[in-house]
Amino acid sequence: MKKAPTIKEIARMLNLSISTVSRALHNSEGISEGTTRRVKEVAHELGYEPNQTALFLKSGKTLTLGVILPHLSEAFFSEAISGIEDFASEHNYNVLMGQSHDDTEREKKIVEAMKNHRVDGILVSIAKNTKDFSHFDALQKYDIPVVFFDRVPDRYEANTVTCKMEAGMLEAIEFLVKRGHTRIAFINGPKELLATRERLAGYDSALRSLHVEVKPEFVVHSDLSPEATCRAMQTLLTLKTGPSAVIAFNDYVALDAMQYARKMNIRINQDISFVSFANLPVWSYMENPPLASVEQFPYRQGQRATEMILEILNTPKHKVTDKFKKIILEPRLFIHT
Amino acid sequence: MKKAPTIKEIARMLNLSISTVSRALHNSEGISEGTTRRVKEVAHELGYEPNQTALFLKSGKTLTLGVILPHLSEAFFSEAISGIEDFASEHNYNVLMGQSHDDTEREKKIVEAMKNHRVDGILVSIAKNTKDFSHFDALQKYDIPVVFFDRVPDRYEANTVTCKMEAGMLEAIEFLVKRGHTRIAFINGPKELLATRERLAGYDSALRSLHVEVKPEFVVHSDLSPEATCRAMQTLLTLKTGPSAVIAFNDYVALDAMQYARKMNIRINQDISFVSFANLPVWSYMENPPLASVEQFPYRQGQRATEMILEILNTPKHKVTDKFKKIILEPRLFIHT
DNA sequence: CTGTTAGCGCATTCAC
DNA sequence: GTGAATGCGCTAACAG
């Protein structure tokens, strides 16, 4: 049973005081070259690494960022955290990760654990049902900044990184209209999500600005489960005058909707065209992907969010303002084939 | 600029000593009910959470597990870490995450950072080129146990969780032979990986035991890049007597190989049948997935690895043995109708 | 029932 | 050039 080496141990081995060892390791002035060398040798020999945990007591910095996501199994989020981790590690930060599984209670627990660990800052994509943000607000008492990305609270008081969904929707609809579609349906997501409302607003305004008739029955909802998506698709297919194109809330909804349509003997992108949000990497391998999808750059969003929080952390306290930071990325319509 | 509340602050506010506060928060014996209540009230009011970092100094436990993976963008690994995080958080452990991007140098850096943070244990799937394990061995000095999963070192001295690849290969080949295939090719992975050698051993022994002729030219390699996979597939397609079935090292290789074949006007699973390893969740949505794939249960592997490391952490020091723990899971052939 | 103190690992201020 | 002492937040052993 070993114990991690400490400066104390090094000091004892060399008959030095711990402060000398500490200074030697930091190349401080006023330590003889010989001592410095010997200290470093022994340190290396023992595989000494400074104890970040002890350092925190002095510095108040853990060099750790907390990341809270709904779930990693969704490609969007695993790409995002990949961007976060890459950017963070470039700047010597570590990443503590937690999945809320779209459950507000778990989200609260994770926030608490991260408070316990005194992470320097937290990046979050909130759970589907989170309406109350008091667990995040409580972080102010700990001087832990929070940056929300993608799934952000529907209120102004928050640092956020998002994609301009209205713009993405406009691009998608312009694309379809150019191809001659006028009966454009929309399978939207759960009404609690801000993203749902934004996409709907984009849908309405895009259709209006392009002078396409807005039919209320063309907008249906899914809670993102395969079953709900199939029901939504079914609703669309049983309309007397059905849609010629369907926009899906995201790629998973598109997958389920397209599968259901295929089962109903509808030819994808011939009888009904599809356009989707988020752009799964696997589309390129599919024989019949949606005609296009709105790329939301999860990796980039993660990166930018990390950049934002590091900027906040590096702002000297006396310069802190009350302004909230907002980054809004432009999505891009990615046309398949 | 707030600072995190401490027991000291609570003590000052109530004119108590810090030890009384500490005891009250822990419901220790011998504290008057009134005091306990008042302490808890104030603690709640301030949003007090104990400082895990300070606790570590005493207990030597950070309640944090380090996880090192090649990259999260691969579904296999994001599923695995999902299993790790779920199991860990159930047991009040947090997860510190790092991506090696299949680069041994980055892997070393991550190990060092995790040593700095004094994680209680580390779970790893090693980088493709890692041959030297001294950075992991050095963790012994810190009494930090390591459990390898999926991508494990090719030596005995390691705690490992893996899938029995030979068995998976046998199942896959049995499946193909039953369907009448005798010309079964294999696109294997990079030779450095243990998984590559295991699959090859399984391939050879399965063919032999089923009395199918082994043709050396039927085994080709890919470094897992799309280009290499296409070249490998091309090699197979230009054989005078080509294969009737192809087994792919993993799903990504299968995707690339199938796409290439399609481009060459080969009808998937008619002209050439495919079987793959790993079982991407999206197969179920594809019109022409491989006939079958060998499911390796990444989520389960992550869970079991976490279970193993927690078991090691909870073993009293005096009971520690030198034995290495090994868990070998049975893969399952998943047939895509 | 409650207060005082030591110590975990380290950087740092003050002595010599 | 180097050592001794302090304090970061907290628990636990020891005193009352």
Instruction: For B102-119, write each residue's pLDDT tens digit.
Output: 999 999 999 999 999 999
Q: Can you give the pLDDT at residue B315?
A: 86
Task: Please give the mean pLDDT across all residues of chain B.
Answer: 93
B62 CB inside 7 Å of strand C: no
Per the CB < 8 Å rule, is B2 touching A50?
no
B96 → chain A, closest CA residue: A96
**In the structure, what pLDDT confidence band is assigned to residue A272 with cuts at 50, 70 and 90?**
very high
Residues B57 and B150: their CA atoms lie apart, in Å, by 34
**In the structure, what pLDDT confidence band is assigned to residue B285 with cuts at 50, 70 and 90?**
confident
CA distance A98 to chain B (A): 7
**In the structure, what pLDDT confidence band is assigned to residue B59 with cuts at 50, 70 and 90?**
confident
CA distance B61 to chain A (A): 10
Closest residue to D5 (CA to C1') is: A19
For residue B214, the one-letter residue type is V
Which backbone phi and psi does A220 adopt, to 5 degrees? Answer: -125, 170
Q: Which residue among B4, B57, B97 places its CB closest to the CB of A142?
A: B4
Distance A29 CA to D5 C1' (A): 20
Residues of chain B in contact with residue A52, where contact means CB-CB under 8 angstroms, are: 116-118
What is the 8-class DSSP label of residue B38? H
Residues of chain B in contact with residue A94, where contact means CB-CB under 8 angstroms, are: 96, 98, 113-114, 117
Sign of CA dihedral B262, B265, B270, B274: negative
Q: Which residue among B86, B109, B141 places its CB closest to the CB of A46?
A: B141
Q: Can you give the pLDDT at residue B292?
A: 94
Tokens of B197: 């050698």
Pairing mode of beta strands B94-99, B121-124:
unpaired
CA distance B28 to chain A (A): 21
Using a 7 A cutoff on CB, list residues near strand D. A 15-20, 23, 30-32, 35, 54, 57-58; B 3-4, 6-8, 18-19, 22, 25-26, 48, 50-51, 54-55, 57-58
Distance A88 CA to D7 C1' (A): 30
Lowest mean pLDDT among B13-27, B81-95, B167-181: B13-27
Residues B254 and B272: their CA atoms lie apart, in Å, by 12
CA nearest to B98, candidates B83, B88, B90, B115: B115
Q: Can you give the pLDDT at residue B286?
A: 85
User: Is the pLDDT assigned to residue B280 strictly greater than 90?
Assistant: no
Q: Which residue among A1, A5, A96 places its CB closest to the CB of B94?
A: A96
Q: Which residue among A5, A98, A288 places its CB closest to the CB of B141?
A: A5
Look up the pTM and report it. Answer: 0.92
A281 neighbors B75 (Cβ within 8 angstroms): no
Q: Can you give the pLDDT at residue A297?
A: 94
User: Is the pLDDT assigned to residue B1 strictly greater than 70?
Assistant: no
Residue B26: partners with Cβ closer than 8 Å, 6 or more residues away: none
Strand D, nucleotides covered by protein (CB < 7 Å)? 1-5, 7-13
Which has the higher per-residue pLDDT, B207 or B283? B207
Residues B281 and B72: their CA atoms lie apart, in Å, by 15
Closest residue to C7 (CA to C1') is: B58
Q: Can you give the pLDDT at residue B159?
A: 97
Residues A336 and A328: their CA atoms lie apart, in Å, by 25
Per the CB < 8 Å rule, is B96 touching A64?
yes
Closest residue to D11 (CA to C1') is: B58
CA distance A210 to chain B (A): 33
| Helix, strand, coil fractions of chain B, as percent rounded to 5 | 45, 15, 35
Distance A24 CA to D6 C1' (A): 20
C-alpha distances (whole Å) from B169 to each of A50, A190, B163, B210, B296 are 46, 43, 11, 12, 12
Count Cβ atoms below 10 Å from residue B295 Cβ, excluding itself: 16
> How many contacts (CB atoms, under 8 Å) link A and B?
169
Per the CB < 8 Å rule, is B79 touching A56?
no
Residues A257 and A235: their CA atoms lie apart, in Å, by 11
Beta bridge partners of A34: none
Q: Can you give the pLDDT at residue A1?
A: 55
**In the structure, what pLDDT confidence band is assigned to residue A31 with cuts at 50, 70 and 90?**
confident
**In the structure, what pLDDT confidence band is assigned to residue A286 with cuts at 50, 70 and 90?**
confident
User: Is the pLDDT assigned to residue A108 strictly greater than 80?
Assistant: yes
Buried b (16+ CB within 10 A) or exposed e, B179-202: eebebbbbbbbbeebbbbebbbeb
Strand C, nucleotides covered by protein (CB < 7 Å)? 1-5, 7-13
Task: Please give the mean pLDDT across all residues of chain A.
Answer: 93
A7 CB inside 7 Å of strand C: yes
Mutate to test the interface with A, among B9, B68, B97 (most CBs of A within 10 A): B97
What would the mean pLDDT of A280-307 be, rounded to a whole number? 92
A54 CB inside 7 Å of strand C: yes
Q: Can you give the pLDDT at residue B28?
A: 79
Per the CB < 8 Å rule, is A143 touching B4?
yes
What would the mean pLDDT of A234-241 be, rounded to a whole number? 95
Domains delineated in chain B: 7-50 (1.10.260.40), 59-163+298-329 (3.40.50.2300), 165-295 (3.40.50.2300)
Distance A57 CA to C11 C1' (A): 10
Distance B8 CA to D11 C1' (A): 13
Residues of chain A in contact with residue B282, where contact means CB-CB under 8 angstroms, are: 255, 280, 282
Q: Which residue among A86, A109, A141 places its CB closest to the CB of B46?
A: A141
What would the mean pLDDT of A49-75 be, rounded to a whole number? 92
What would the mean pLDDT of A314-332 be, rounded to a whole number? 86
Residues B48 and A138: their CA atoms lie apart, in Å, by 10
User: Is the pLDDT assigned to residue A218 strictly greater than 70?
Assistant: yes
Q: Can you give the pLDDT at residue B32?
A: 84
A276 neighbors A329 (Cβ within 8 angstroms): no
Q: Can you give the pLDDT at residue A292?
A: 94
Q: N- to C-terminal Cα distance for chain A?
A: 60
The secondary structure of A163-226 as a DSSP string is E-HHHHHHHHHHHHHHTT---EEEEE--TTSHHHHHHHHHHHHHHHHTT----GGGEEE--SSH
